[in-house]
Structure 1
Amino acid sequence: MTTDNTISYEGKTITCKAAVAWEAGKPMSIEDVEVAPPKANEVRIKITHSSICHSDSHVLAGNTPNTKFPIILGHESAGIVESVGEGVTAFSPGDHVIPLFLPDCGKCMFCKSGKTNLCLGLTSTWGRGLMEDGTTRFTCKGQEIYHFMGVSTFSQYSVVSAYSVTKVDHEAPLDRVCLLGCCIPTGVGAVQNTAKVFKGATVAVFGCGALGLSVIQGAKMAEAGEIIALDINPGKFDKAREFGATRVMNPLDYKEKIEDVLKREYNGGVDFSFDTSGGNVGVMNSAFECTTNGWGLSVVISVAKAGDTVSTIPFNMIRGKSWTGCFYGGVKGSDLGEYVKNYMEGKLMIDEYVTRNITLDTINEGFDDLHAGKCIRQIIPMHE
C-alpha cells in the first residue's frame, strides 16, 4: 500500500517523468515534463499507479480526429494529493484520490437532474485538452502539452480540476482501486444503472476483455440466470468463467451468424446484451439483433471509430427492442466510495483483473500486449 510520504512542492513547478504522445499513430516517448502548480479550483496529484485502457489506445491510434497532440494520455489511476489551488476546500495534501475522466461538478443542469452521470462543468475546455482557464499545466522541451480527458495520468504528477477527483479510503490499496477509474464501474454500472438487469435474466456479453469481465461481474451480482460470454479469443474463456460466465461461445465456431444462434437457442433472443468489443460496429449490430422482442435491451459501451454507424430496421423498435449506451456505466465520482467499500469487504473483484505490473519505460510494449490480448490489466507503479 502506498504511504503518505509525498513531498509538497506547493506553489512550485515540478519536473517529473511522463509518457508523451507527440503525434497520432506513433509510440509515446518518456520525457521530462514540467507540471505547473494548481490554480484556483485545481488539485495537483502525485499519480502513484496508472493502468492502460483501450480508450487510451483508441486515441493514440488517431481514431478521435478532434484530439490535439502532443498530449499526455492515461485516465485509469489513483494517487495522493500533493497540493491544492485557491478555493479548494474539499481536498487536502495527503488525501488518497481517484482522478475522474468524467467530471462531477454537482452544479450543472445534468448533475442536478438526478437522471444522468454526465456533467457540463468542464465542457468548454475538457474536449480541447485544456484546463478551465484555457491553458495547460504541462510543458516539455519548451512546448505546451495537452491534457487528456481532464486527467492525463501517464505522468508522475498531474493537475486536475477539483471537479475531476474523488477521495477514497486511506486503507484501500492504490495499486488496485486505480482500476475503479474506468473499466470496473463502466461495466458493473452498465448492468446496474443502465440496463437494470433483473434476477434470472439471460445476458450476452460481447467481448471478454476487462470491460466485458466487469459486465459479467455485474450480471453475476444482479443474479442473472444465464451469462453468456462471447469472444473470438478462446484464451479469455477461463477468466470469463472465473468472473461468473455460465457459458462461453466463440462466434467463429458457428456457420450461422451468432445472433441467429442466440435467438434460436434462447427462445427468440436474450433479455440483455452488452457490446464491449472495442468499437466493432458489426459486433454492436449482432449484440442488438440477438435480443428478444418485447423487452430486449442492448447496451453499447465500447467506443467506435469516428464516423462509424450502427443500423437496424425500424420494425425492430416497434417490436419492443431497445438500443442504448452509457458513459462510465452511469456512475458518478461520488459513487466510487461504495465501490471501494465493496472491494474491501470482498464483494467486488479487482485483484483478478491484474495480469502484471510494468514500468513506465515499457508502456509502449504494454499497449502491444493489450492489442494482442495477452493481458487484462497492466498496472504501472509510476514512481518505481
Structure 2
Amino acid sequence: MEQNSVARPIRCKAAVCKAAGELLEMEEVEVAPPRAHEVRIKVVCTSICHSDITRMKDGSNMFPCILGHEAVGVVESVGEHVQEVAVGDTVVPVFLAQCGECADCRSAHSNLCSALPTRPGMPRDGTTRFSLAATGEPVHNFLSVSSFAEYTVVDVAHVVRVGTAIPPEKACLLSCGVAAGICAAWKVAAVEAGSTVAVFGLGDVGLAVAQGSKMRGAARIIGVDKNPDKFEIGKKLGVTDFVHPSDIGEQAVSEVIKEMTGGAGANYCFECIECIGSVSVMEEAVKSSRMVRHAFTGLREDGGGARRGRQRGAHSIPSVVRSYLGGIKPKDDIPVLAQKCLDKELELDEFITHQMRFDEINNRALDDLQLAEGRCLRYIIRMDGGVAMEDGA
C-alpha cells in the first residue's frame, strides 16, 4: 500500500477478553484505518506477559478488550502527519509513549511522556479502533498496543522502528520486561564494573537485570528465587551464586547475602517480583545492601522503587529511587538493544521458553503461564494475516 493511499477497514482474528476472569475468545474484529498520528500494524508475533493475565482478572478494565502489549509487526498503513515510519517498516509497539517533544521526553531524568500519558483508548482521543465484526460493538484496546490481534492500530509515539535483521521472536521481547531489566541495570542503577549485585526474583525481569549487570561488568551476581529451575538458566545469563529461601533454615536471606559478601552486603539490590512487587522482599533487599556505595531495589513495571546509596557525611545510606520500565526511553534505547542482540552482546534465546500458534492461546499458553511454577518465561505466539475490506463491505 502506498504511504498516502486511503486505507480501508480490515477484518481479522483477535483474542477478545469479554469480562474479568473469563478466558479469551477468538473473534472476528474490524480494525479501523489509522487516524492522524497513528499506524496500523500487521502483527507478526506477540508474547504473553504476566501483566496480560493480571489484567484479564482485573474488574477495573474496560471490557470487551484486546490484551497483549509485547509484539513486533510490519506497518500496513499510516495516518496523516506520520513521518518517522513508513509502510513496510518492521516496528515494535511499546506501551510507553515517547513523543520526543514534551519536557519529560527531552529530559534525561524522566521516561514518562507528559504529552501522552497512559489513558483508556487511543492516546490522543480516547476512542478505539476495534469493533466486533458481527455486531459492531466497540472493543477496547489495552496499554495502547492490543497485540492479541492480527492487526492493531498504535499511536506513532508508541512505535519504534527496528528493521528486519533481528528475528521477530526476539524483537518482540524488547518492548517490556526484558528491556526493563536490562535498562534498570544500565540506566537506573548504572551498575559499576567489579561490583556485587543481588537480584530478588528470577523471572524475565530479574534474569534481564542479571544479564544487564553482567554486561556492565559486575563481578558477582547473586540470584534469589524459590524455584530451583531458575538457577540453571540464571547461570547462562550471568548469575554466579544462588540463594534458595527454603534451603537456609531460620536465617533471613539478607543474613545469607551479608555472609556471602564478607559482612558488607551487595552494592546493588533489585527487587524483581513480577510486576506487582513485594514489600517483604523489598525489606530483605534493603537489609542485604552494602551501606557504602549504592543499592537498588524494586524494579517493577508499575514504577517500583530502586534503592540507592545517598551520601551522609563520610558514609552513605540507602534511599529509594523509583523505576518505571527500567528508565527506558523506547525510541532511544530499543534500537540500541536490538543492535546489541545482533552483535551477540545481548542473549535473548534463553527467555523464549515456549512457542505456539495464535489459535492455541487459550488451550495452552494461559495454563502454562499460571501453572508452570515459573518455568515459563515468555510465550511467543505466531500470527496470521487478516483481509482488507472492500468499500461498502
Contact 1:48–1:383 at 8 Å: present in 2 too?
yes
Report the secondary structure of 1:37's partner residue. Answer: coil
Contact 1:183–1:211 at 8 Å: present in 2 too?
yes
1:69 CA drift (Å): 2.1
In structure 1, what is the equivalent of residue 360 of structure 2?
362
In structure 2, what is the equivalent of residue 135 of structure 1?
127
Deviations 1:308-353 (A, max 9, x none): 9999xxxx9x961122231221111222111111111111111221
Report the secondary structure of 2:205's partner residue. Answer: helix
In structure 1, what is the equivalent of residue 328 of structure 2?
331
What is the alpha-carbon distance in structure 1 between the residues aligned to residue 169 and residue 6 of structure 2? 25
What is the alpha-carbon distance in structure 2 between the residues aligned to residue 376 and residue 355 of structure 1? 6
Question: Relative to structure 1, is the Cα distance of residues 66 and 130 closer, same or farther in structure 2, using a 3 angstrom cutoff?
Answer: farther
What is the alpha-carbon distance in structure 2 between the residues aligned to residue 22 and residue 244 of structure 1? 41
Contact 1:284–1:310 at 8 Å: present in 2 too?
no
Contact 2:184–2:323 at 8 Å: present in 1 too?
yes
Deviations 1:193-243 (A, max 9, x none): 001111111111111111111111001101111101111010111000111
Contact 1:130–1:146 at 8 Å: present in 2 too?
no
Task: Using structure 2 for the length normalisation, give the TM-score.
Answer: 0.88
Match of 1:258 among 253, 256, 263: 253
Contact 1:14–1:36 at 8 Å: present in 2 too?
yes
What is the alpha-carbon distance in structure 1 between the residues aligned to residue 383 and residue 27 of structure 2? 13
Gaps of 5+ in 1: none
In structure 1, what is the equivalent of residue 47 of structure 2?
51
In structure 2, what is the equivalent of residue 288 of structure 1?
286
Question: Relative to structure 1, is the Cα distance of residues 10 and 358 closer, same or farther in structure 2, using a 3 angstrom cutoff?
Answer: farther
Contact 1:68–1:129 at 8 Å: present in 2 too?
no
What is the alpha-carbon distance in structure 2 between the residues aligned to residue 121 and residue 220 of structure 1? 35
Contact 1:297–1:323 at 8 Å: present in 2 too?
no
What is the alpha-carbon distance in structure 2 between the residues aligned to residue 369 and residue 290 of structure 1? 33
Aligned Cα RMSD in Å?
2.6
In structure 1, what is the equivalent of residue 243 of structure 2?
249
What is the alpha-carbon distance in structure 1 between the residues aligned to residue 305 and residue 84 of structure 2? 42
Task: Using structure 1 for the length normalisation, give the TM-score.
Answer: 0.90
What is the alpha-carbon distance in structure 1 between the residues aligned to residue 286 and residue 321 of structure 2? 10
Counting aligned pairs with the same residue, the percent is: 38
Paired residues for 1:296-335 under 5 Å: 296-302=294-300, 320-334=317-331, 335=333
Gaps of 5+ in 2: 386-393
Report the secondary structure of 1:81's partner residue. Answer: strand
**Aligned residues between the structures:** 369
Question: Relative to structure 1, is the Cα distance of residues 277 and 106 closer, same or farther in structure 2, using a 3 angstrom cutoff?
Answer: same
Contact 2:45–2:383 at 8 Å: present in 1 too?
yes
